[in-house]
Amino acid sequence: MRWALLPVIAACAAHDPPATGSRTVTYLTPTEHLVRASMALRGVRPSLAELQAVAKDPGQLPHLVDTYLDSPEFGDTIRDLHNEVLLLRVQRPELTPSNAGPLGNRSFGEVTRSYFDEPLRLIEDVVMNDRPYTEIVTADYTMADDIVAAIYGMPHGPGSDWERVAWPDGRPAAGILVSDAFHARYRSAGFNYHRGRANAVARSMLCHDFLDGDVIIDPTVNLADPNVVANAVVQNPSCAACHQTLDPLASYFFGYQQGVLNLDAIGGYPFTIYDATQTNDWFLTTDRPPSYFGQDAVGLDGLGKAIAADPRFTRCAAIHFASYLTEVDPANLSPAWIAQLQAVFEQHHDSAKQLARAIVLSDPFRIASDSDPTDAETAVGYQKARPAQLSRMLYALTGYRWLGQSNQRVVGEWPIGTIDLLDDDYSGFRVLGGGIDSFLVTEPVFTMNATSSMVTRVAAFSAAQFVVDHDASVPLAQRTLLTAADPAATDEGSVRAELAELHARIFGELVDPSDPELDASYALYQGALAASGDARRAWVVTLTGMLSDLKAVYY
Amino acid sequence: MRRRELLQLLGAAAGAYAIAPHGRALAQQPSPRPPKRLVLVFVTGGWDAVYALDPKDASHASVPAGTVQAFEGLDVLVDPSRPGVGAFFTKYAGISAVVKGICTDAINHNECQRRIATGTREETKPDFGAVVAHDLGNALPLPYLILGDTAWTGPYAVSSGRVGATNQIVDLLDPSAQGGTQGRPSVLPPPQGIGWLSDQETALLRSYAQASVDRAHATRGALGYNRARVDDFLEAIDRAAQLRTLRAGFGTRGDALAYRSQIALALDALQQGISHAVMVSTGLLWDTHSDNWLQAGFHDQLFAGLTALVDGLAARPGLATGTTMLDDTVVAVFSELSRTPYLGGDDPHAGKGHWPVTPALVIGAGVKGGKTFGATDDNSGSLPIDLATGQPDPSGTTLLYSHFVAGMLSLCGVDPGVHLPNVPVFDAFAV
């Protein structure tokens, strides 16, 4: 029961020398640890009450983590985490279901997000309901909002909420493995015969990438001739080494349309790229019966069960969760730590919540710095808020979402409509802010550059404007962020009292109003007040600085 | 001395003593060449080399209509149906080198793109545009400008920046202009009558950030990874401030930047001192598993654009008095893959698969123009070459992506041993 000890270890060991590993590492304080756990799991800063509770009793931290794991924001994180693995959230016109029929009035962003989020919503549903994580490849249902339901002809209640729903064509129970969106994202060219899809499954769910090795091509093999290729992948040793396992895996996916899908030209709904009658077409092409790394597994549901039973599946999940939550490249994660996490994961019946819990309460997660110059090069002591986290953080602190609206149409078809500027690539700033577009930019950037700095600064300014206007116009009880003093008051006592609370809310620092740690923020306020002579403007400038500060964008 | 400069020096020292895997000392690294600016034209998707740069006989490949024409020392397939190809070489063969037979040793796009751009198989390594920009132009506001779709910045992310699918960067450069003008989303809710930050307020925020960085340096951000993140934070603010002064060079907000628009912006960014290296993408769907005939039009557009690019370089003033940008700028045109020799599928939609041997075209300053380096056999396989001369040599070396990238770094004036230690440098195409 190693996991049961973790909270105690974490609570007692914070700021203490580590029992093992580097002797020069310094760990986060309990409140700093809380901030990192809250941001990593939710993209939201902890509340003042939570900070005070942990400052008073570090043993409260694991209990707060449990509440974070049950929050809707953790569901957002689960989808974001799996999108970084599966690379589903693409915004490309040719991969966007057309605006025919029931989608006639829907925007580009709405359609792309709903269509490609369907498998991510299924994963979120499994995780948030604390069911075995293996169900992501064995579930007999998926999730649909009104757009997804319209595309596939699924029943859906009033409104646009995501609901559990069965595939109307009775396709096998295999979770995301049977998702149209997955197979639309990983299209298979005519003579590829689903090998790309098979490798996407192996890479993302088993951490087994067939493409990791060099491919030395025999130039006498005409790769454009399917008959020659079919022979080479069996007879040619340099080809057969991979293809003897890759091709049988690919044979599971013949039910999904190959080649150009022309989603943007769909004439009407319901529409699917799945056709059960083509399931056995491997017989007409590669002549490789479906098989899972040499095991007999029948059908896509059999494939899902085989993956779920494969120890590589839980190990791979541990790698993905650990990498996302620590911002450490998978190749640099400690194999021993991953093995520990995998054990915790399996002991808890593949509970992804318990896996995430074990990660954020572990020593590797709470590294602050390393005083050894060599070890310091690889000690990740600052994590950077991804654009989605920045969006949630600003919303939680200020009530502001950085939205944009346009009546323009994408390639003359779908209206751009209203978009979250931190969660959109076509018109927004997700990639410029350091995020991914899941197609051309597939890895987030964990440091600041010129464009991410501008994105952060403009978003912070907009949020600051919004919250100052709001808080200056409502009674104290209704204010969002400026809750310690009257925003119009400019005396040092009032301003420093407000700054002390802002340092707690935004930076996670519990400091007294007279603490020198506030001096820089107070100087900023004073300077801004002197520049404009306007107290509200001074708060806008001060909050812009704080919301885009090092201690806000890093955690 | 900054941390990464120290690491580079350490890397250089290590490279100087590098021993080849087989125990043979590597060739002496060449003396650094004069620094050059760089435009990378990345033909993502996989061009069909037989359409222009590596013509083959119809008895060994499915080839398009055309005739092989000699342009100075370059044999290129041309045809009236794709006039852009012939027009380019008629004008610029003398400053262009063709490199044939580069092996990527992989057949999927992402892997090959990474290899041909970074010279490595590692996802965390920067591409040669990022390296050249960082090493030679790091004082510029945005050393590496990524206009195309595919680039790797690795540890030089702070020196790099994208403009966005619809040139969104202009909204960031001029936040006060946000508000629903044509083609751009307006911010909701609209600004409450409060203008964007004044210069005085911006200076206050810069001081605030500096104070925050100073505190971090004294605590958690003193060393290593943390120090780099802290330094990047302030450096990014300063680069952003510099960029805002150059707003005019970034054009207008609109649809995805077309190839020719990227070229215009690349020329402006280099000329105005915004960037040292620029990544451009054609934006064309080169991955012709079906309808391989589309390669004809794509080649025409590619080379017409290259003519416009080199025309622009030749028409604009260079860094030294009395020179043009063409005297200090290199253009590298490359694709991650070529296409299989033979067509597959049925006409008229017959296509070609991926082929892991691809050519490249290097143009401009310091290039041995009018010459071909590397070679392929009749079956489009790569022939071993003498890396020093680039000519076929049965006892020579198979030309790899890493050799080519090391050569590009050398051509541009960067010591390849620092970034690609132990990699033989193939720079026969450089003067």
- Classify A161 as helix, strand or coil: coil
Which residue among B161, B191, B354 places its CB closest to the CB of A450? B161
- Which pLDDT score is estimated for A521? 98
- Measured between beta carbons, the chain A residues lying within 8 angstroms of B198 are 531-532
Q: How far is CA A380 from CA A82, A360, A367, B223, B225, in A?
A: 22, 14, 7, 11, 6
- Measured between beta carbons, the chain B residues lying within 8 angstroms of A189 are 287, 289
What are A478's two structure tokens? 């209704």
Are the CB atoms for B103 and B385 separated by under 8 Å? no
pLDDT digit string, tens, across residues A412-430: 789 988 999 999 988 899 9
Q: How far is B41 from chain A (nearest CA, A)?
A: 16
Q: What percent of chain A has pLDDT over 70?
A: 94
Q: How far is CA B219 from CA A16, A371, B207, B213, B223, in A?
A: 17, 10, 19, 10, 9
All domains in chain B, ordered by first residue: 34-163+257-419 (3.40.720.10)
- Which pLDDT score is estimated for B30? 52
- Which pLDDT score is estimated for B337? 95
- Measured between beta carbons, the chain A residues lying within 8 angstroms of B381 are 219
Rounded to whole angstroms, the Cα distance separating B14 from B29 reads: 12
Q: Of A208-212, B10-14, B298-302, which gets the smallest average pLDDT?
A: B10-14
Q: What percent of chain B has pLDDT over 90?
A: 71
What are A193's two structure tokens? 């015969």
Give residues with Cβ within 8 angstroms of A491, minimum separation 6. Answer: none
Is the predicted pLDDT of residue A4 greater than 70, yes or no?
Answer: no
- Bigger pLDDT: A277 or B346? A277
- Measured between beta carbons, the chain B residues lying within 8 angstroms of A503 are none
Q: Where are the alpha helices (DSSP H) in A296-334?
A: 299-309, 311-326
User: Rounded mean pLDDT of B266-286?
Assistant: 94
Which residue among B123, B215, B221 places its CB closest to the CB of A443? B123
Are the CB atoms for A66 and A357 separated by under 8 Å? yes
- In what side-by-side order are the strands of the sheet with B186-188? A414-420, A403-410, B186-188
- Which pLDDT score is estimated for B149? 81
Are the CB atoms for B53 and B71 separated by under 8 Å? no
Q: Of A12-16, A331-335, A534-538, B334-338, which gets the smallest average pLDDT?
A: A12-16
Are residues B230 and A219, on separate chains, in Cβ contact within 8 Å?
no
Which residue type does B109 have? H
User: Rounded mean pLDDT of A205-210?
Assistant: 94
Is the predicted pLDDT of residue A103 greater than 90, yes or no?
Answer: yes
Element (H or E) spanning A461, and its range?
helix A450-472
User: Rounded mean pLDDT of A81-95?
Assistant: 94
From B329, B299, B334, select the one nearest B311 (Cα to Cα).
B329
Q: Look up tokens 């809750």; give the residue.
A: A483
- ipTM given for this complex: 0.92
Burial B146-162 (b: 16+ CB within 10 A, else e): bbbbbbbbbbbbbbbbb
Which residue among A382, A403, A425 places its CB closest to the CB of B226? A382
What are A102's two structure tokens? 């029931």
Is the predicted pLDDT of residue A533 greater than 80, yes or no?
Answer: yes
- Averaged confidence pLDDT in chain B: 88
Q: How far is B368 from chain A (nearest CA, A)?
A: 30
User: Rounded mean pLDDT of A111-139?
Assistant: 98
Are the CB atoms for A179 and A142 separated by under 8 Å? yes
- Which pLDDT score is estimated for A440? 78
Per-residue H/E/C for B119-166? CCCCCCCCCHHHHHHHHHHCCCCCCEEECCCCCCCHHHHHHEEECCCC
From A146, A135, A149, select the one nearest A180 (Cα to Cα).
A149
Rounded to whole angstroms, the Cα distance separating B396 from B384 reads: 5
- Which pLDDT score is estimated for B194? 62
